[in-house]
């Protein structure tokens, strides 16, 4: 009887330690973020207010991968991916820039938004995939920066 009491007390004491262990999903995201840092991508969780016209609302905060812009006179734009391969601007006009579309088609289907301002180019991603997806994202950000 004493053995069962000791075992149950130990289980009660050690059970919170199981809550501290990250889930598989969290471990996968941490591995992707470390790989992104290793290849030179900056990442942060950024709060977003998504347009009301998106069919599926992305998470907020969302993972933002970004790179500084090289040119001071670079064009500024924002595009949202409403369906795989369909990129719309803030007026819901389809992207017709062939150079941008060539790069956008290399991105995974769970990229929600890509934007460029005078200082940086940022991509908002659902972080699903493996390290090869990060290579594609890095190549696109580097090409558009």
Which DSSP state fits 94?
B
Q: For residue 52, what are its two tokens?
A: 């009301």
Q: What is the pTM of this model?
A: 0.80
- Are residues 63 and 112 in contact, defined by beta-carbon separation less than 8 angstroms? no
* The 42-46 sheet, strands edge to edge: 42-46, 62-68, 120-125, 111-116, 77-83, 86-88
Distance (Å) of CA 47 to CA 60, 61, 94, 100, 103: 5, 4, 25, 25, 25
pLDDT in tens, 97-115: 889 999 999 998 889 999 9
Q: What percent of the chain has pLDDT over 90?
A: 20
pLDDT at 143 over 80: yes
**Domain spans in the chain, listed from the N-terminal domain onward:** 23-144
Give residue 25's pLDDT: 83
């Amino acid at each position: 009887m004493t053995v069962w009491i000791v075992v149950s007390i130990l289980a009660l004491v050690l059970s919170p330690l199981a809550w501290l262990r990250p889930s598989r999903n969290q471990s996968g995201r941490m591995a992707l973020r470390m790989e992104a840092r290793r290849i030179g991508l900056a990442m942060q969780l950024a709060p977003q207010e998504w347009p009301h016209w998106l069919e599926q609302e992305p998470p907020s905060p969302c993972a933002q991968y970004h790179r500084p812009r090289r040119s001071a006179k670079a064009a500024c734009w924002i595009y949202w991916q409403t369906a795989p391969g369909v990129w719309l601007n803030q007026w819901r006009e389809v992207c017709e820039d062939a150079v941008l579309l060539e790069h956008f088609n290399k991105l995974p289907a769970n990229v929600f938004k890509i934007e460029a301002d005078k200082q940086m180019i940022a991509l908002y991603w659902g972080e699903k995939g493996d390290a090869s997806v990060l290579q594609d994202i890095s190549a696109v950000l580097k090409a558009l920066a």
